[in-house]
Structure 1
Amino acid sequence: MPAAKDIRVLVVDDQMSIRLLVRAGLQQIGFTDIVDAPDGEAGLKALLDRPAHLVISDYNMPKLDGLGLLRAIRSHEPIRKTGFIMLTGRADTDLVQRAVQFGVNNYLVKPFTVATLKAKIEGVFGPLT
């Protein structure tokens, strides 16, 4: 059972308001090591500079979307095992199937609650302490 404070999280979303909401939810759960990026390209660079244990990424972003980011992470050996939760306003089955095909660990639909966020993270890491 990992402690939330021991998990480094990268939040990637082109909307600052969503990044702040996710950060606030993570902090309520007990996460302290949280960084964010405004798009997939910046997220990938941040991850390569300093790997995280978990990426929570929006699907629909400029430059590099969530699926592109997921594919880039899964194809780069040093970071390929990084947990990945896709965050989107679209609960579209085609998108979910493609994300699963590329190795997504979980899926979170906006709007979300802190309890749902925690459950999705625990679906990746197991119960948090």
Structure 2
Amino acid sequence: MSAVLEHANVTVADPHGTAAWMQKVFGWHIRWEGAAKNGGYSVHVGETNSYLALYAPPSAAGKAPESYGIIGGLNHLAVIVPDLDATEDAVKAAGFTPINHGDYEPGRRFYFHDENGIEFEAVQYD
């Protein structure tokens, strides 16, 4: 058996707000929520075997620098979707702007930034 990525943990301004759009856009559900490290609060949103931990510190956090220029930067999170066109419509309805569309073997993709500045890639494989 090979290793499987279970979750990623990202800092957001409003875990409930971020989880809400993820539920609408990706069809995910809240798996758990509660008190977290250093007095913060987390909402875990995703599927049965994988999720994103959305962490908010107890006081407002600063913005990270552009990630592609720093070691350890989170450049983007990719999500496989069953219908890229429907996902793009949902992304737009959530108030985000799809960018950098591309077709490649074996699929299609686009990117968007959420309200926290996190870049997401939506990809559909043929």
TM-score (norm. length: structure 1): 0.32
Q: Which has the larger radius of gyration?
A: 2
More strand by share: 2
Which structure carries more relative contact order (alpha carbon 8 Å, separation 6+)? 1
More helix by share: 1
TM-score (norm. length: structure 2): 0.33
